[in-house]
Structure formats: C-alpha cells, structure tokens
Homo-oligomer: A and B are copies of this chain.
Amino acid sequence: MPILLATDFDVAEQRLWRELLQTELPDERFVTDRQTVDDATIDIAIVANPPRGALSGLANLRLIQSLWAGVDRLLGDPSVPPQVAIARMVDPAMNVAMAETALWAVLSLHRGYYTYAAQQRARHWQSLPQRRADEIAVAVLGLGQMGRTVALRLADQGYRVSGWSTRPAEPARIDACTGDDALLPLLARADIVVNLLPLTPATRGLLCTRIFDAMPQGASLVNLARGAHVVDADLLAALDRGHLRHAVLDVFATEPLPADHRYWLHPNVTVLPHAAAQTDARSAATVAAANVRRLRAGESPQNQVDRVRGY
C-alpha cells in the first residue's frame, strides 16, 4: 500500500526526503499526490506541516508519522482523522542540535557576549565581571526528550540546572520538580529560564507577566519551544522596564516573524529564525522508516502522541 508524503517542502527537500525514505524502505511506494492513487489504499502518511485537509477522508489511514518533533499544528487541524495513531519525530540528532542552541544561548547570557556584541557596534571596549558557571542557575521548563538532553548538557558544563515539567519526568541527573506550586519558587532562583515545554492548552500563554515577575531582576528567557507559550506584550514590557535582561527567541506566534515586529530591533532580544533544532533528514528518515517497519510487522509505532495530553 502506498505511503503518502504530505509536506510543505520545496522541490529539493521533497526529493531528498523521498530518496532517503526509499533507500530505507526499498519495498515501499511513496506518493506525494493523492490524485495518483485510490485514497482507500493509503494506510500511512509521513507529514511535515501538511496543508490543511491533506489527510482528510483517508478511511484506511493507520499511522501519521510526523517529521517534526512538535505536533501542535497537526493536532489543531480538525481534518486530521481522529482515530489514527500520530507519531512525533524523536531523533537523538535533533535533541543534540537543540542542546547546542541552548548551550550557546546560556553561554552568551552567562559570559556577556550579547552585551559585547552591542559594545562592538558602539566601538566600546569594556570587559564585564566574570562569573563561574556554578554561580549561574538555569531552570529548564519541560523535561521531555529535548528538555532532558538540554538540562544534562548544561549540567555537564557546570551550570546549576533545575528542571520543571507539567507531569513527573523520568529521573535524570538534575533536580526536577512538577506542578504549579513548584514553578514560581523555581523561577525565583533562576538566572536563566530555558523553555522546552510542549505546546498544549495548559502551556499556551504560560510565559506571561506572572512568570516574569517571579523571575529575579536581571534574569533572562530563552524560548526554544513555541511562540504561543509567550505573551509577547508581557515579555516586551518586562524587557522594557529592565526587569528581564534579555530574551533569546527562536519561535514566534507568527512565523516568519513579521517585518514590523518590535522583537526584530529590540536591543535586548535575540531573534533566531526557528533554527534551534532542525530535523536532520539523514537521521530522521531512519527514525520514520523504523516506525513504518513496526506497523508493517504488526507492532505498535513508537513515540505516539497522546491526543488528550496534547504531545
């Protein structure tokens, strides 16, 4: 039975993925155009930001394998068949890429490199007081695959790392806590907050004035999860009044970030173009193919999304 590829890829990306998947699964047939096959024959869809409606009416669909880690857009599309298993992309290479970005942002904040960049543009030569990593408290929000990888890599660099998650996380080599009551006390001790939560109804808009006020004067935010976690007006207000020192933002409510958005030229905001951790086709195609093989062998796909929980 054919596998539908439903993505927003350009021609080159589409070709790359198709070749990699075909190499992994030589006996499978991949189609990108539903018109070329009978809908009833499609039992697997491999998707990356599929256009709305791309999966509607596929009566025999059994697995939707996402090539992206975040599935909030997929879950928000009412045309996606409700009973079909959805699997997220869990790729160790992507977790490492996310940890690299988090480490870069934390190092930049800890060692003053954003300040030095501003000083360079002003041709101003001034070294800043230097703190040791073990004097910097980092709170990682979200302790899933990515959050855990990030937290452990930061701890390996000597940072004082604590983690928080909406439900109890698997144990790791870091202090971890759970639930609303634990969040504000954790934030009160944090020099840097790194957000890696999944976007769910419970976490949408979580990063608002209440949270920023709980963080100490001069603390910084690194958002690598989803733009909708942040109430933008609240963040800008906290930065403008100097309560928060800096924000590193990889994700935004609207992407690409609109040209007239204040974030672009704010002196205390670092804008990244949703590049913190891109899916690496070479390793992700292997991960996706493994789930296809599991389904064909009558096994349950891995990394299935809990639709009620939302991730």
Residues of A within 8 A of B (CB): 93, 96-97, 100-101, 103-104, 107-108, 110-113, 116-117, 119-121, 123, 125-128, 130, 132-133, 156-158, 255-257, 259, 264-265, 270-275, 277-278, 280
Contacts and interface: CB of A to CB of B under 8 A. Distances in A.
Given A96-B132, A100-B107, A104-B107, 9 more contacts: A103-B107, A104-B104, A116-B275, A120-B270, A121-B265, A123-B264, A125-B257, A130-B275, A130-B277
Contacts of A255: 125
Question: 8 nearest interchain CB pairs?
Answer: A125-B256, A127-B275, A104-B107, A130-B278, A125-B273, A123-B264, A120-B271, A127-B273
A104 B111 contact: yes
A277 B112 CA distance: 12
A270 B132 contact: no
A56 B280 CA distance: 62
B123 A265 contact: yes
B274 A130 contact: no
Q: Which of A101, A112, A127, A274 has the most CB of B within 10 A?
A: A127
A265 B259 CA distance: 24
B119 A111 contact: no
B104 A272 contact: no
Nearest to A269: B120
A113 B104 contact: yes
A299 to B, nearest CB: 29
A201 to B, nearest CB: 28
Contacts of A110: 100
A43 to B, nearest CB: 32
B96 A133 contact: yes
A95 to B, nearest CB: 12
Given A104-B108, A123-B259, A259-B123, A117 B275 contact: no
Nearest to A128: B275
A130 to B, nearest CB: 4
Contacts of A130: 97, 275, 277-278, 280
Contacts of A264: 120, 123
Contacts of A104: 104, 107-108, 111, 113
Contacts of A256: 125
Contacts of A127: 273-275, 278
Contacts of A270: 117, 120
A194 to B, nearest CB: 15
Contacts of A156: 156
Contacts of A280: 130, 132
A100 B277 CA distance: 21
B133 A273 contact: no
A101 B111 contact: yes
A111 B100 contact: yes
A127 B276 CA distance: 9
A158 B120 contact: no
A133 B100 contact: yes
